[in-house]
Amino acid sequence: KAGVTQTPRYLIKTRGQQVTLSCSPISGHRSVSWYQQTPGQGLQFLFEYFSETQRNKGNFPGRFSGRQFSNSRSEMNVSTLELGDSALYLCASSLRPSTGSYNSPLHFGNGTRLTVT
């Protein structure tokens, strides 16, 4: 079974630009979560989607947005990029959403390394 696929693998953008990152979950997984990982802050939750609906959102500004399509693929968008947005952006999929008593683990992709100059 193919794992979580994230594209592109690397991206270089300049301040003020916007960027769209893509995530294809494991087949059958309907929940997709996005995380930002930096050396200083570690792993931080961005948002989670299940059945095309945003279920949860972390503490990031409105410049960070996402969506999920009917085939469970997800995209996240960052507008008006800032230098501090340079990070590894990780997507994770799971069978079940975060709410409820499910204990299905998260399966991560290898991330998109975004560098903002």
Partner 1 sequence: DAKTTQPPSMDCAEGRAANLPCNHSTISGNEYVYWYRQIHSQGPQYIIHGLKNNETNEMASLIITEDRKSSTLILPHATLRDTAVYYCIVRVPGGGSARQLTFGSGTQLTVLP
> Could you list the residues that contact partner 1 (CB under 8 A)?
4, 6, 33, 35, 42-43, 45, 48, 56-58, 90, 92, 96-111
Mapping DSSP onto H, E and C, the string for the chain reads CCCCEEECCEEEECCCCCEEEEEECCCCCCEEEEEEEECCCEEEEEEEEECCEEEEECCCCCCEEEEECCCCCEEEEECCCCHHHCEEEEEEEECCCCCCCCCCCCEECCCEEEEEC
The tokens describing 27, both together, are 């087949």
Shortest Å distance, C-beta 92 to partner 1:
8
By beta-carbon proximity to partner 1, the closer residue of 16 and 61 is 61
By beta-carbon proximity to partner 1, the closer residue of 33 and 68 is 33
By beta-carbon proximity to partner 1, the closer residue of 66 and 111 is 111
Shortest Å distance, C-beta 16 to partner 1:
28
Shortest Å distance, C-beta 112 to partner 1:
10
Shortest Å distance, C-beta 93 to partner 1:
11
By beta-carbon proximity to partner 1, the closer residue of 70 and 101 is 101
| Residue 84 DSSP one-character state | G
